[in-house]
Structures are given as C-alpha cells and as structure tokens.
C-alpha cells in the first residue's frame, strides 16, 4: 500500500522535529549563535566606518570610479584587501569589471583565487587576534563549549560564507577565532571559487 500525501507530510514533519531536537542536544544552534556573536563586533566596526565614509562620499560611485582610474593590479589589490578585511564590498562589482576586460575569464579566475586567498588570510587574522590577552581570556573562559563544538560544526559556517551572499571573510575570521582546523577551512572554503564563477556566468550574460 502506497503512503498517502498526509502520511508523507507527517513523516517529513517527524524527521524535521527529530533533526531540530538533535541540533538542540548537540549544541548546533548554540554554536551558530555564538559564532555570530564572536564576529558581531568586527562587523559593527566595519559598518560604522562605511556609514561614516558614506556621509562624505557616495561609496558605490567611488568604487566604480576606482575601477576606472586604478591600474589592473590596483583593482586586484583592492579586491584582495576587501576580501581579507571583512569582505563587505560586494564582489559582484569586481566581477562586472572583469567582464569588460579583453580576457574576462582569465580575470574572473584571478578574482576567484584572490577571494579564496583573502578568506584564508582572514582566518589567520582571526588566529592572531586570539593572541591578544583580552580575546584569549574571553575565548578560554566563556567559549569553552563553543571551541569544542567548532570541530563538529565549523564546516557549516565556512560553507555558508563561501556560497551565500554573506561576507566570506567574516566566516573565515570567526573560524580562526574559534580555532577551527585550517585544513578544513581550506577544503570547505574552496567552494568560494565555485560561487565566483557562478556569479560570473550570470553577470557576463547580462553585460
């Protein structure tokens, strides 16, 4: 006898409830929440800086202007810095810039590698931050459970940052702060290359 639609719906609901309960018991939700709290001060500082600058300059116009006046190596250097320091400048603008070059796919490949490398650099910046006494004490005294869960759930954090429209650098820096293994960051973070190429395919077809 084939299961009815209602039976399948109830089965799906039961699986969702079981997964939800499992996430609670294993501390998955706590891990995500605490990871966000760890990165939050850095995000706030950068946003405040951007808002302040935007009071005097139109940031979007300024960024477009930069791609017009800077030499190629200057644009690529600026992109790498952006992808390393919290990554709040949308990479789509740089992808559109690469689409106007004589060899767009070559420049898109360079952007993908720079974005990936910027995320890895952010990881090490997060690691270096833990050397500061105040941050070290906070991690050791208040985030002991979070550090334990990082080995289980840190990969999810990196995948979200690599594929979704959230700053990749923030995910990687947070991974560094919570001491998630670098090899795993490098492995999961390689999905960032896939995202850059995916955006490139869409943007190149629009241009």
Q: What is the largest CA-CA distance in the chain?
A: 70
pTM for the full predicted model: 0.68
Whether residue 195 lies inside any domain: the answer is yes
Whether the per-residue pLDDT at 56 is higher than 60: the answer is yes
Total domains in the chain come to 1
Whether residue 18 lies inside any domain: the answer is no
More confident residue, 143 or 101: 101
pLDDT of residue 118: 93
Asked whether the beta carbons of 98 and 92 are under 8 A apart, the reply is no
Whether residue 170 lies inside any domain: the answer is yes
Whether residue 4 lies inside any domain: the answer is no
Whether residue 98 lies inside any domain: the answer is yes
Whether the per-residue pLDDT at 19 is higher than 80: the answer is no
Whether the per-residue pLDDT at 37 is higher than 60: the answer is yes
pLDDT of residue 150: 61
1-10 long-range contacts, CB within 8 A, separation 24+:
none
Cα separation, 176 vs 161, in Å, equals: 14
- DSSP conformation class of 90: -
Question: Domain range for residue 98?
Answer: 27-206
Whether residue 56 lies inside any domain: the answer is yes
pLDDT of residue 46: 57
How many C-beta atoms surround the C-beta of residue 125 within 10 A? 18
Angle between helices 144-163 and 168-177 (to 10 degrees): 160
Whether residue 10 lies inside any domain: the answer is no
Whether residue 20 lies inside any domain: the answer is no
Q: Which of 15-19, 24-28, 145-149, 170-174 has the highest mean pLDDT?
A: 170-174
């Amino acid at each position: 006898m084939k299961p009815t639609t209602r039976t399948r719906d109830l089965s799906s609901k039961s699986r969702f409830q079981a997964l939800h309960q499992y996430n609670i018991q294993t501390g998955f939700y706590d891990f995500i929440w605490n990871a966000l709290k760890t990165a939050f001060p850095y995000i706030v500082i950068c946003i405040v800086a951007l808002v302040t600058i935007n009071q005097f300059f139109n940031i979007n116009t300024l960024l477009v202007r930069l791609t017009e006046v800077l030499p190629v190596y200057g644009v690529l250097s600026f992109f790498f810095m952006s992808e390393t320091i919290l990554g709040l400048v949308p990479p789509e603008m740089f992808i559109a810039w690469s689409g106007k070059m004589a060899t767009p796919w070559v420049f898109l490949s360079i952007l993908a590698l720079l974005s990936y490398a910027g995320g890895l650099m952010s990881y090490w910046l997060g690691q270096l931050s833990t050397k500061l006494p105040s941050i070290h004490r906070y991690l050791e005294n208040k985030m002991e459970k979070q550090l334990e869960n990082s080995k289980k759930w840190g990969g999810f954090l990196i995948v979200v940052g690599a594929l979704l429209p959230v700053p990749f650098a923030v995910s990687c820096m947070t991974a560094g702060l919570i001491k998630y293994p670098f090899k795993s960051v490098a492995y999961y973070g390689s999905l960032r290359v896939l995202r850059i190429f995916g955006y490139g395919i869409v943007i190149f077809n629009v241009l």
